[in-house]
Amino acid sequence: MQIDPKNDIIEVDGVQVSYNPDAKKIYILLNKLPGYLSACVDSRGVPTIMDLLPHTGERLFPVGRLDKDTEGLLIVTNDGDLAYKLTHPKHKIDKTYLAWVEGIPSESSLEKMRQGLELEDGMTAPADVEIVNFTDHISRRNTSGISTCLKIVIHEGKKRQIKRMCYAIGHKVLKLRRIQIGTINLGDLKPGKYRYLTQEEVESLKNISS
């Protein structure tokens, strides 16, 4: 529903929701740690990304959530228009992930991911998928044996999409890291750290054409 922010009052269960269109826009790039929820509110003792961020006095929210056990790039902002642009599937903004999966996927199963897979909530759009390397042991889930690091680029944001895509070809995801959204790369930002996006970076996101 469209609202008129100057004249409408918005309430949820009788509590007025504050909305200040003139609030200073804030854009933060966070390298999320696994074990943190992509939530902005109290989460009954579970750490949230807010524990990793500065206190800005603004109502911030993550642009496209990451699962609790997923790590990597998260943009956190109070700019609803940009968040909408980056997350709505119609804009087809690329999101790049590194996924460490159990075993070695065959070329034919990778091709299925590239073409689009049937998940319980429908077909996935074609994805870019390439093998980055093979590794011996991923310790986080205490599994042993060969695992494969895949670089996967998707532009949708279905719930747990990467994990479900990998599972659909028979490979469990052991570790998942997002490394890029649109024009913004995680770069060498250390795990658990954040930085503010530069004006140029914000403009580059706003200017991505869909």
162 binds ligand URA (CB under 6 A): yes
Residues 46-85: x where in contact with ligand URA by CB under 6 A, - otherwise, as a string:
--------------------xx--x---------------
Candidate segments 40-48, 84-92, 155-163, 202-210, binder of ligand URA by CB under 6 A = 155-163
Scan for tokens 């109502």, then name that residue. 59
Q: Which of 59, 76, 62, 79 has its CA nearest to residue 17?
A: 59
**Smallest distance from the beta carbon of 161 to ligand URA, in angstroms?**
5
Structure tokens at 151: 């670089």
Q: Which is nearer to ligand URA, 155 or 206 (CB)?
A: 155
Q: Which of 51, 67, 79, 188 is catalytic?
A: 67
Alpha-carbon distance of 65 to 177, in angstroms, equals 12
Structure tokens at 143: 């599994």
179 binds ligand URA (CB under 6 A): no
Residues with Cβ within 8 Å of 205's Cβ and at least 6 positions away in sequence, in order, are 75, 82, 85, 86, 181, 182, 183, 184, 197
Q: Answer whether 83's CB lies under 8 Å from 77's CB.
A: yes
Scan for tokens 């998942």, then name that residue. 176
Q: Which is nearer to ligand URA, 92 or 160 (CB)?
A: 160
Question: Is 67 designated active site?
Answer: yes
180 binds ligand URA (CB under 6 A): no
Which residue from 32, 85, 163, 171 is in contact with ligand URA, where contact means CB under 6 A? Answer: 163
Beta strands in 94-200 (DSSP E): 95-102, 118-119, 122-123, 128-135, 147-154, 173-181, 184-185, 194-196
Which residue from 161, 181, 201, 202 is in contact with ligand URA, where contact means CB under 6 A? Answer: 161
**Smallest distance from the beta carbon of 18 to ligand URA, in angstroms?**
29
- Would you name the residues annotated as active-site residues? 67
